[in-house]
Structure 1
Amino acid sequence: MSDIGDMINDMTVRAQSPDKRIRAMLRGRGLPTVSFASPDGYAQYRDVESLASQVSTAIERVMAGVDQGRRALIREKTHLSTAEGPHWDASRRRMHEELRDLKSWGESVKGVVRVETVGLRAWRVRIRPGSLERLKAGEFLREVNSAIAVAEHAHRVNEHEVKAKYLGSFGAPPLKHEVRR
């Protein structure tokens, strides 16, 4: 029987946007990545707002699937539930609330896409107006996936700071959030 960590590392979650033209995928403990369901998927979008909305929802769906999958693995292997209610310890409860509401953001390499997340649950993608006409599909995907990576890294840095505030420094030097372009 493998341990839960190995099973999480082996987990792959896939989701689609409401219009089914965008896919999001996350493998193990990696980053969510976005792709188009068909070669002409990008060309079907006429405005950045609808594309941004569809990408946002696909990311939210894949992250919700990851959370559900992890909870199911824990229940299955430990026969324990992961309680959704408030923690009995006031300090831990404040920490969990702060982590749940943790806001982070990332910007793509060329500054075309900005991704904002709250607790890695709620996601909002913004795309610079005029980008559909200027970028090819592959360029857009590189931009959106780089913004996701920066936002996720920023979240981990912020998460580390919150946990250090409540639990101590873990003996590790603080992480740095650097955006490189």
Structure 2
Amino acid sequence: MKEDKQLIKKVKQGSEAALEQLVSKYYEQIFHYSFRLLGSYEEASDATQDIFISMMKALSTYQERRKFKSWLFTIAYNRCMNSFRELKRSHLEMTVQQDDQGDGDFAERYVERKFVEDLVNTLPDIQKNALLLKYYHGLTAKEIAHITGVTTTTVKSRLYQGLQKLQKIVKDGE
């Protein structure tokens, strides 16, 4: 994106305003991605801060031939995978805060969202990660391949297998 390239150029020249714009532009996406992978608000907050600190430190190594968003998600992916290793998690649980108002629409959306989250959490991490990057963050298979360090064919296979497993679970549950 041209806008990203311009912001990066300004950041490299020392513009704090450009850095603020760049962080603001991607903060929410990176936080949500981290939250979906780590399952904890606190861990996602810490990870997001670490990701942007890493981004600032590594910005001089960023190569413009690659999309900035993909590069940033690579940093996020690596940081979250490091958290997995540190915490030695075998299973992730996602939490959603309940609304104390008891709104019927909210309750219905919460149940639907929780159902989907629980389904996705049954998948192996490699398939879950591919699906999150594709459907929650709108990345292409090629971008996901760059982020995860595998081939585009492998990403497509993980997406297909993950969707097939979800479809089977839903069918068997009916």
Question: Normalising by the residue count of structure 1, what TM-score does the alignment of the two structures yield?
Answer: 0.31
User: In proportion to residue count, which structure has more helix?
Assistant: 2
User: In proportion to residue count, which structure has more strand?
Assistant: 1
Question: Normalising by the residue count of structure 2, what TM-score does the alignment of the two structures yield?
Answer: 0.32
